[in-house]
């Protein structure tokens, strides 16, 4: 058995490594030639991913061969596609990368092959867009190949253990596709669950993101209310949480490629159908979370008033601008947006981040400052203030 994995990014590479480690030959296809060469040399391009170094050293260039040419994968019978789908400036899904990958894949697709998509996108995409692009570029009819969907449910940094332990779902465009895909995935995924359709599998992943976003918005709102009422949020939360209640943690908002993006897949779909009232909570939660940086900017200003210096000369330092602690990623980072907002408002704001050099900070258009040199520090991951002078 030989499997092709299209897209060797943060999600595709750990998957390719786990598949190779289960004894299956993998052809990894990625348009980034430099990344392919690195992988084939046994050099892991994602060092922060726990356990990946060892797997790439063992399998890179051997059981896992990376290539920029789709033709190198034409001997495979199973193709897994995991390239990104983003949202554009108007929050509509941007399928351009996915479309290009599927059109290239269609050119090497044969009768009887299996295609499984893993990227998160709006429910219905596998049955509609993916099927149509694959038939169009392969010249095959839809009954000539099997098509299924299995969402990637990893968490950056812990992808290998998530792939090995976390429940994974898979669903076919039709019943037969579901069964064929389930049997193929069972060879390298232990905790696998077949669901009734690709559409259900797609919804499972989007639902999870929406659940997180709405519950974080709720936590943020309750936190603000607690502050107004003079209630210790953490104490109240601790005792409020039990088997049927799980209040999340407050934050500066929600960043990254997943949670702030997935609700838009449903919001835009409902808006397209003019079913606006079906997605009011999702839209409001997005707004509540994105506006948290305004709340924290105001808090920072209030803290500045406690310092006996003119406002314009108070050095404010944001301790961390990645979207999440411990991961050097900035997509939709609210901490980065907060730092930029303070600068735009004319405050003397700086950044220090344990994962970034001075140059890295400057490359983001911001100024670096050692925490000890600031008058006021704000730690956005723990929502704590410190005064250093």
Question: Cβ 20 to ligand NAD, closest distance in Å?
Answer: 17
- Whole-angstrom Cα distance, residue 134 to residue 137? 5
Question: Cβ 78 to ligand NAD, closest distance in Å?
Answer: 16
- Whole-angstrom Cα distance, residue 200 to residue 211? 16
The stretches of 193-333 forming alpha helices (DSSP H) are 198-229, 233-240, 262-272, 280-290, 292-304
- Whole-angstrom Cα distance, residue 51 to residue 21? 12
Burial class (CB in 10 A: 0-12, 13-18, 19+), 389: exposed
Question: Between residues 211 and 385, which has the closer beta carbon with respect to ligand NAD?
Answer: 211
Question: Cβ 382 to ligand NAD, closest distance in Å?
Answer: 23
Beta pairing class for 86-87 and 146-149: unpaired
Question: Between residues 9 and 42, which has the closer beta carbon with respect to ligand NAD?
Answer: 9
Q: Taking CB under 6 A as the rule, does residue 10 contact ligand NAD?
A: yes
Among 44, 78, 119, 289, interactor with ligand NAD by CB under 6 A: 119
Question: Cβ 96 to ligand NAD, closest distance in Å?
Answer: 9
Q: Taking CB under 6 A as the rule, does residue 29 contact ligand NAD?
A: yes
- Whole-angstrom Cα distance, residue 104 to residue 6? 10
Q: Are 363 and 369 in contact (CB under 8 A)?
A: no
Residue 62, C-beta contacts closer than 8 angstroms, at least 6 positions apart: none
258 is catalytic: yes
DSSP label at residue 245 = B
CA 11 from centroid of its chain's CA atoms: 9
x/- mask, ligand NAD, residues 235-264, rule CB under 6 A, reads: ----------------------xx------
Q: Taking CB under 6 A as the rule, does residue 84 contact ligand NAD?
A: yes
Question: Between residues 59 and 237, which has the closer beta carbon with respect to ligand NAD?
Answer: 59
Question: Between residues 209 and 352, which has the closer beta carbon with respect to ligand NAD?
Answer: 209
Catalytic residue among 210, 258, 279, 317: 258
Please tell me whether residue 181 adopts helix, strand or coil conformation.
helix
Q: Which residue is nearest to ligand NAD (CB)?
A: 9
205 is catalytic: yes
Interface residues with ligand NAD (CB under 6 A)?
6-12, 29-32, 35, 82-85, 97, 100-101, 104, 119-120, 152, 154, 156, 257-258
Would you name the residues annotated as active-site residues? 205, 258
């Amino acid at each position: 058995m030989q499997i092709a994995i299209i897209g060797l990014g943060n999600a595709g590479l750990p998957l390719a490594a786990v598949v190779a480690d289960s004894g299956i030959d993998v052809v990894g296809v990625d348009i980034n030639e430099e990344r392919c060469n690195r992988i084939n040399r046994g050099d892991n391009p994602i060092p922060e991913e726990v356990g990946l170094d060892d797997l790439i050293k063992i399998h890179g260039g051997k059981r896992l061969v990376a290539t920029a040419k789709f033709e190198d994968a034409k001997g495979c019978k199973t193709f897994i596609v995991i390239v990104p789908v983003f949202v554009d400036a108007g929050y509509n899904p941007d399928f351009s990368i996915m479309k290009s990958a599927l059109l290239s894949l269609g050119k090497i697709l044969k009768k009887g092959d299996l295609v499984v998509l893993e990227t998160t996108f709006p429910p219905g995409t596998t049955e509609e867009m993916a099927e149509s692009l694959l038939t169009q570029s392969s010249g095959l009819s839809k009954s000539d190949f099997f098509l299924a969907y299995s969402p990637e449910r990893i968490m950056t940094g812990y992808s290998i253990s998530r792939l090995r332990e976390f429940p994974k779902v898979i669903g076919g465009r039709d019943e037969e596709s579901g069964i064929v895909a389930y049997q193929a995935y069972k060879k390298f995924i232990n905790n696998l669950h077949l669901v009734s359709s690709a559409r259900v599998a797609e919804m499972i992943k989007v639902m999870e993101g929406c659940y997180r976003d709405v519950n974080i918005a709720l936590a943020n709102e309750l936190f603000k209310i607690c502050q107004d009422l003079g209630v210790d949020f953490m104490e109240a939360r601790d005792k409020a949480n039990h088997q049927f209640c799980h209040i999340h943690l407050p934050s500066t908002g929600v960043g990254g490629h997943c949670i702030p993006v997935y609700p838009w897949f449903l919001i835009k779909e409902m808006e397209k159908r003019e079913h606006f009232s079906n997605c009011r909570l999702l839209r409001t939660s997005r707004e509540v979370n994105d506006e948290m940086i305004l709340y924290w900017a105001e808090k920072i200003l209030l803290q500045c008033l406690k310092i006996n210096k003119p406002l314009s000369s108070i050095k404010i330092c944001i301790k961390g601008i990645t979207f999440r602690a411990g991961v050097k990623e900035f997509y939709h980072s609210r901490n980065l947006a907060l730092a930029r907002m303070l600068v735009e408002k004319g405050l003397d704001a700086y950044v220090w981040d344990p994962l970034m050099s001075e140059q890295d900070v400057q490359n983001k258009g911001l100024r670096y400052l050692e925490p000890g040199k600031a008058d006021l520090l704000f730690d956005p991951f723990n929502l704590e203030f410190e005064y250093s002078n």
